DNA sequence: CGGCAAGAATTTATATTCTTGCCGGTGCAATAAT
């Protein structure tokens, strides 16, 4: 039996699938050839199967770096449902005793999930070193570039951690990456130059792209309500402010008959989990959310994603609209834009980084830095950079450069909103794809011309692609909640 | 970093100009107190 047949046979036996989805076989083969791999695959193509397959096939332990506790939880649950019990999420949800026990017997697990922050724990690193890691996986690897520099600095340390673990075979997976983000990932992970890149287009042809410019807030609200009355659901609205997210949720409740809930980091873990489950099971028509919502959400029938505020950059935009239409059916992405929105994003971008006054203060007074780092995000960042051995002079340079990059990305986002020609091609160019698509009727709105919702959704069945229709298993979320948070 | 609304100030004003405060996304781990 040749290798290809053997892989298919194993896929059927172990996972019950007859075919690999796009990219999976290429990734698995590359890993089996002992080549570290970066996989940029569209959402819904089963990225996790790649490393699950590798682990089961080679019978070697797989360590997965995951950005969110909820993501780890989902994956662990899914693996257990598939019958794989040797799986653990090594995180702060574990009690001290449980954690110690897991660390003592780490070699009993085939799949170990953890957040990058956990690698700072020496006991954890030591236990991982005892293991013969077959594969190190960086899930949602764009976080390295998007979150590392100013939000979760431990992402910057992954390369060094990887080295300390003996430079194991590595797989980095994400749905979107420009050339710049890809370069960040390979550099920060210190991947060997021989790494293999498996990349598919970011284009999602079944998502119509629209932007509307509105003169003021009042008009924007009215337009939003009128859209909600016309659009087929379920849907998602993104905000860049928790306050406005809450306000609009209430307004929608008052003015429409839609079942709607808000989702943002101001809510407790339990509340967020409940909202998410109600959305997945169809009890909610619509979620108003901040960027907290989305990663790891597997709902296939989202018909529209509206941006009440445009995001900071096109990377985020493509991630967020990519949550629509995973079933391949016609969907739509709409940005409602008001000129003042640009300042909101500018503020957010600038605020996340320490400015030179702050840096100077902290440099002169370590005591001020210490007391501030408990509350201020940027002071904490400075502390972490110091721990990484980065000087104040270098920090100033790094932060300045980062600010410039963020500003440039925001300019591109604005250019997209204002772009009078085919927006799909704008996105393809931004993501450095050579390919140019032919503008079609159901592609995007051009310039200021209006678009016809009825026409867009008229011939739903003509739009097809090979994305799977995998509805999540229905379950009572209250039970899961109880299990997860016994003391809530 | 910039707009905006509310309120204060202003050459005694029912109108304009100036000032102030407000607006603001994403999460890990670990600690401390029960």
pLDDT band for position A482 (cuts 50, 70, 90): low
**Nearest nucleotide over every DNA/RNA strand to the A265 CA, judged by C1':** B26
For A389-398, write each residue's pLDDT tens digit: 999 999 999 9
User: For position A179, what pLDDT does the model report?
Assistant: 95
The pLDDT mean for chain A works out to: 92
For residue A479, pLDDT beyond 80: no
For residue A467, pLDDT over 50 is answered with no
Asked if residue A477 has pLDDT above 80, the reply is no
Nucleotide nearest to A72 (CA to C1'): B28
Q: Find the Å distance, CA of residue A94 to C1' of nucleotide B23.
A: 39
Q: Is residue A125's beta carbon less than 7 angstroms from any atom in nucleic acid strand B?
A: no
- Predicted local confidence at residue A381, as pLDDT: 93
Q: What is the pLDDT of residues A153-201, one digit of tens each?
A: 999 999 999 999 999 999 999 999 999 999 999 999 999 999 999 999 9
Burial of A431 (0-12, 13-18, 19+ CB in 10 A): buried
Q: Which pLDDT does position A358 carry in this prediction?
A: 87
CB of A341 under 7 A from strand B? no
User: Rounded to the nearest 10 degrees, how much is the dihedral formed by the CA atoms of A69, A71, A72, A76?
Assistant: 140
Q: Are A217 and A338 in contact (CB under 8 A)?
A: yes
Q: What's the CA–C1' distance between A274 and B25, in Å?
A: 21
Residue A416 CA to B6 C1' — how many Å? 36
Please give the average per-residue pLDDT across A436-447, as a whole number.
93
The CA–CA distances, whole Å, from A211 to A68, A332, A422 equal: 31, 11, 12
pLDDT at A465 over 80: no
Q: What is the 3-state secondary structure (H, E, C) of chain A?
A: CCHHHHHHHHHHHHHCCCCCCCCHHHHHHHHHCCCCEEEECCCCCCHHHHHHHHHHHHCCCEEEECCCHHHHHHHHHHHHHCCCCCEEECCCCCCHHHHHHHHHCHHHCCEEEECHHHHHCHHHHHHHHHCCCCEEEECCCHHHHHHCCCCCHHHHHHHHHHHHCCCCCEEEEECCCCHHHHHHHHHHCCCCCCCEEEECCCCCCCEEEEEEECCCHHHHHHHHHHHHHHCCCCEEEECCCHHHHHHHHHHHHHHCCCCEEEECCCCCHHHHHHHHHHHHCCCCCEEEECCCCCCCCCCCCCCEEEECCCCCCHHHHHHHHCCCCCCCCCEEEEEEECCCHHHHHHHHHHHCCCCHHHHHHHHHCHHHHHHHCCCCHHHHHHHHHHHCCCCHHHHHHHHHHHHHHHHHHHHHHHHHHHCCCCHHHHHHHHCCCCCCCCCCCCCECCCCCCCCHHHHHHCHHHCCCCCCCCCCCCCCHHHHHHHHCCCC
- Token pair, residue A260, equals 């709607």
**In angstroms, how far is B30 C1' from A120 CA?**
12
pLDDT at A3: 84
Q: Is the CB of A91 under 7 A from strand B?
A: yes
Instruction: Find the mean pLDDT for residues A370-385.
Output: 88
The pLDDT score that the predictor gives to residue A344 is 94
What is the pLDDT, as a whole number, of residue A458? Answer: 87
Tens digit of each residue's pLDDT (9 = 90 or more) over A62-108 = 999 999 999 999 999 999 999 999 999 999 999 999 999 999 999 99
Dihedral of alpha carbons A114, A183, A399, A416, sign = negative
Q: Which residues pair with A171 in a beta bridge?
A: A37, A137
Q: Which domains does chain A have, with CATH numbers?
A: 3-199 (3.40.50.300), 207-343+419-484 (3.40.50.300), 352-411 (no CATH)
Residue A223 CB lies within 7 Å of the nucleic strand B: no
Say yes or no to pLDDT of A478 above 80. no
Q: How far apart are CA A109 and CA A139, in angstroms?
A: 18
Angstrom distance (rounded) from CA A1 to CA A129: 36
pLDDT of residue A355: 87
- Indicate if CB(A342) is under 7 A from strand B: no
Which nucleotide does the CA of A339 lie closest to, via C1'? B3
Percent with pLDDT over 90 in chain A: 83
Over range A312-334, report the average pLDDT. Answer: 96
């Amino acid at each position: 039996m040749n290798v290809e047949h053997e892989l298919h046979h194993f896929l059927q036996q172990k996972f019950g699938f007859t075919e690999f989805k796009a990219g999976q076989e290429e990734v698995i083969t590359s890993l089996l050839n002992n080549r570290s791999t970066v996989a940029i695959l569209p959402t819904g193509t089963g990225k996790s199967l790649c490393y699950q397959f590798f682990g089961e096939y080679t019978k070697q332990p797989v360590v997965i770096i995951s950005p969110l506790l909820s993501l780890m939880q989902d994956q662990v649950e899914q693996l257990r449902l598939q019958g794989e019990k040797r799986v653990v999420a090594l995180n702060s949800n574990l009690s001290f005793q449980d954690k110690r026990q897991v660390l003592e017997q780490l070699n009993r697990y085939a799949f170990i999930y953890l957040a990058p922050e956990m690698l700072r724990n020496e006991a954890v690193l030591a236990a991982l070193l005892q293991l013969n890691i077959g594969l190190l996986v960086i899930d949602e690897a764009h976080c390295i570039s998007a979150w590392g520099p100013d939000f979760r600095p431990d992402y910057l340390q992954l390369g060094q951690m990887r080295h300390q673990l003996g430079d194991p075979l590595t797989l980095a997976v994400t749905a979107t990456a420009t050339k710049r983000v890809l370069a960040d990932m390979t550099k920060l992970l210190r991947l060997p130059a021989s790494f293999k890149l498996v990349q598919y287009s970011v284009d999602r042809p079944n998502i119509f792209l629209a932007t509307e410019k509105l003169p003021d807030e009042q008009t924007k609200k009215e337009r939003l309500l009128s859209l909600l009355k016309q659009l087929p659901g379920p849907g998602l609205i993104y905000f860049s402010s928790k306050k406005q997210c809450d306000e609009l949720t209430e307004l929608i409740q008052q003015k429409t008959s839609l079942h709607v809930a808000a989702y943002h980091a101001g809510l407790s873990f339990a509340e967020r989990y409940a909202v998410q489950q109600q959305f997945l099971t169809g009890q909610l028509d619509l979620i108003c959310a901040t960027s907290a919502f989305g990663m790891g959400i597997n709902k296939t029938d989202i018909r529209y994603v509206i941006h009440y505020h445009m995001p900071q950059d096109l990377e985020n935009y493509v991630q967020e609209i990519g949550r629509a239409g995973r079933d391949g059916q016609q969907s739509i992405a709409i940005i409602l834009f008001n000129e003042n929105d640009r300042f909101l994003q500018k503020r957010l971008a600038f605020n996340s980084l320490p400015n030179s006054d702050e840096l100077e203060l902290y440099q002169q007074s370590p005591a001020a830095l210490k007391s501030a780092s408990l509350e201020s995000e940027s002071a904490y960042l400075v502390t972490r950079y110091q721990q990484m051995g980065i000087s104040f002079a270098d920090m100033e340079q790094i932060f300045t450069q980062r600010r410039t990059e963020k500003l440039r990305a925001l300019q591109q986002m604005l250019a997209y909103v204002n772009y009078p020609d085919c927006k799909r091609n704008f996105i393809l160019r931004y993501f450095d794809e050579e390919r140019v698509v032919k503008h079609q009727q159901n592609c995007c709105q051009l310039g200021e011309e209006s678009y016809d919702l009825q026409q867009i959704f008229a011939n739903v069945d003509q739009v097809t692609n090979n994305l799977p229709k995998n509805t999540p298993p229905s379950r009572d979320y209250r039970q899961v909640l109880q299990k997860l948070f016994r003391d809530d």
